[in-house]
Structure 1
Amino acid sequence: MPAITVDDLTVLPRISAPGLGDQPRPVKQVSTAPQGYEGEGFPVRRAFAGLDLRDLDPFIMMDQMGEVEYAPGEPKGTPWHPHRGFETVTYMIDGVMGHTDSHGGGGSITDGDTQWMTAGSGILHIETPPEWLVTSGGLFHGVQLWVNLPRSDKRTDPRYQDIRSGEVGLVTTPDGGALVRVIAGDVDGHVGPGSTHTPMTMVHATLEPGAQLELPWQVDFNALVYVLNGAGTVGIDRQPIRMGQSAALGAGDYLTLAADQRQESRSPKMDVIVVGGEPIRDAIAWAGPFVMNTKAEVLEAYEDFQKGRFGHIPA
């Protein structure tokens, strides 16, 4: 997994161990992601499907894209499509994905890069593998997270952030057993580069076999864990969790993850995405690519899209 890493974790800053009186977050639910296809036919796992919607706020959904090894001619993306009312966060782990949008944003992400698109009032975009990758085939693996926008920011101007892997904050545990990549938000004073409308944190952690991660987490944020690969446990009661499963956690000061001592040969370490944010608690009306507060606003979004008010596809 070529997301940014460090040969010697002991050179990194350490996150603090839980202090006297700090409370661990209990596990409320563990769910297994169903599999399906998106865009032009690339495989996805819908990471948070099955979790109580009240535990997701401010997030709408998250897809694990791949992991799949494409033969020559097989790599796929998405056609041009609209969005309004939320942000898409695409974190690329293996392979290459290009992005172009109707407001001039765009670029190519690979190996730990992130593209952060605020759809806001409305945007058209396309996500495609480069032509050379279509020709050669190759590994494709990433994550796309949808982050809701509060009512006051639903019509904000669209924005695009290009976050390179080298900008991500890197920290480790007191014993150096886990690498924590802070993509956005704050973990124990270590800040990621992503700029967010909705207060939130997003990290990608890699745990060595047998390692334990006690991750400080903002008290007023929710907390969701998704296992990209490997197997281990979540919570102080060590509930089993493995690749393709997610966990919703309750209130507390920190969350606990541990990697099994024995991992499968294809995934020698345990990799997890952890996200959390400040709940918005707005009403949600969601239909396809639009996440608004009322049905009337969703119908208005469809009308604005059909009338070309989201911008135009670049030549």
Structure 2
Amino acid sequence: MPAVTADTLTLTRLPALDPGTTAWRDVVKLVVAQRFLEGEGFAVRRPFPSTDLALADPFLLLDHMGAVEYAPGEAKGAPWHPHRGFETVTYIIDGAFEHTDSAGGGGLIADGATQWMTAGSGVMHSELPTAELVASGGLFHGLQLWVNLPRADKWAPPRYQDIGAHDAALLSTPDGGALVRLIAGDLAGHAGPGNTYTPITYLHATVSPGARLDLPWPAHFNAMVYVLSGRGVVGASGRPLEEGQLVVLGAGDAVTLTAAATQPQASAQGWEVIVLGGLPLREPVARYGPFVMNTKAEIIEAVEDFQRGTLIRSTPEHVASPTEPGMAHRTSADETLDG
């Protein structure tokens, strides 16, 4: 796994949490990711939106791409397509995507890097495998997360944040048993590099076999855990969780996970999990394909703008190295997920 690794004993440690003063969140829903074809026909596993979890406010979609070993000529991507009204977060663990946008910019997302695209008022872009990956084949593994924008920010100018593999904040547990890559948000006073309009926390953790990961978590955020590979237990009651499964956690101010002592061969280094949560917007959601707005009329406007060629209203801004995490508009607090 080329996603950033480090000697956990040399990293900044997360605080040890006191079980006597911490309210551990527990599992309230388990979702098994469903399989879909996207773009030119590449397979994804999607825990939401689904029949079991229609909306995970403020998140709109989570697609798990791979892990897959492509043969020569098999790799596919998502050619030119529009977006309006939300943000797409593409995190590539293995392999590479080449991004191209409506301003003529672009770049490579590879081996632990993230591209954070704020579609805002409207943007066109493509994400395709590199020519080398198409020609020679190889391992590909990544995620795409859609984050809703508050009503006040749906018309913000488009923005791209190129978050390099080594930009993520790297943290470890007190005993060094887990490596945490913080992509966005705040965790125990440590900030991830991603600038967000909607307050969220998004991280990728590798938990060594038999090790435990305890995370302080804002009580006003919701929380979910998705398994990339391996197996373990989550929550106060120790709910088993394995690859392709997601759990929604209930109220509390801390999240606990423990990796199984014996892992599948493919997960020998540890249990690979995504932990994410945010402040629900509690606003109406109207969505149609690549457009997510607040009303049906706004969706119709987006479709008509796309058909007329007027979807792009301003030039996207590219941010090479984000330095101001947490640029967020606050809304009413909530402790549970919709859906």
TM-score (norm 2): 0.89
Aligned to 1:84: 84
Partner AA of 2:22 in structure 1: D
| Range with greater deviation from structure 2 (41-50 or 132-141) | 41-50
Q: 3-state DSSP class of the match of 2:108?
A: strand
Give the gaps of 5 or more residues in structure 1.
Answer: none
CA distance in structure 2 between the aligned counterparts of 1:24 and 1:88, rounded to whole angstroms: 30
CA distance in structure 1 between the aligned counterparts of 2:60 and 2:207, rounded to whole angstroms: 27
Listed as ranges, the matches of 1:263-302 within 5 Å are 263-268=263-268, 269-302=270-303
Q: 3-state DSSP class of the match of 2:160?
A: strand
Partner AA of 2:260 in structure 1: D
Deviation at 1:250, TM superposition (A): 1.0
Q: Does 1:256 align with 2:244?
A: no
CA contact (8 A) 2:85 2:155 kept: yes
Aligned to 2:324: none
Give the gaps of 5 or more residues in structure 2.
Answer: 314-339
Instruction: Provide the aligned length of Structure 1 versus Structure 2.
Output: 311
Deviation at 1:311, TM superposition (A): 3.5
Aligned to 1:305: 306
Question: 1:220–1:307: structure 2 CA closer, same or farther, 3 Å change rule?
Answer: same
Deviation at 1:103, TM superposition (A): 3.0
Give per-residue Cα distances to partners, 1:177-228, cap 9 Å, x unaligned.
Answer: 1001100001001111000010111000000000111111122111111000
Aligned to 1:170: 170
Aligned to 2:336: none
CA contact (8 A) 1:34 1:45 kept: yes
Partner AA of 2:255 in structure 1: L
CA distance in structure 1 between the aligned counterparts of 2:22 and 2:237, rounded to whole angstroms: 16
| Range with greater deviation from structure 2 (19-28 or 158-167) | 19-28
CA contact (8 A) 1:43 1:66 kept: yes
Deviation at 1:309, TM superposition (A): 1.2
CA contact (8 A) 2:64 2:143 kept: yes
CA contact (8 A) 1:97 1:129 kept: yes
Aligned to 1:16: 15
Sequence identity percentage: 58
Partner AA of 1:14 in structure 2: R
Give per-residue Cα distances to partners, 1:7-48, cap 9 Å, x unaligned.
Answer: x21111111122342211111111110112110011100023
CA contact (8 A) 1:79 1:126 kept: yes
Deviation at 1:104, TM superposition (A): 4.2
Partner AA of 1:39 in structure 2: G
CA distance in structure 1 between the aligned counterparts of 2:312 and 2:24, rounded to whole angstroms: 47
| Range with greater deviation from structure 2 (208-217 or 42-51) | 42-51
CA contact (8 A) 2:302 2:311 kept: no
Deviation at 1:67, TM superposition (A): 1.1
The root-mean-square deviation of aligned C-alpha atoms, in Å, is: 1.4
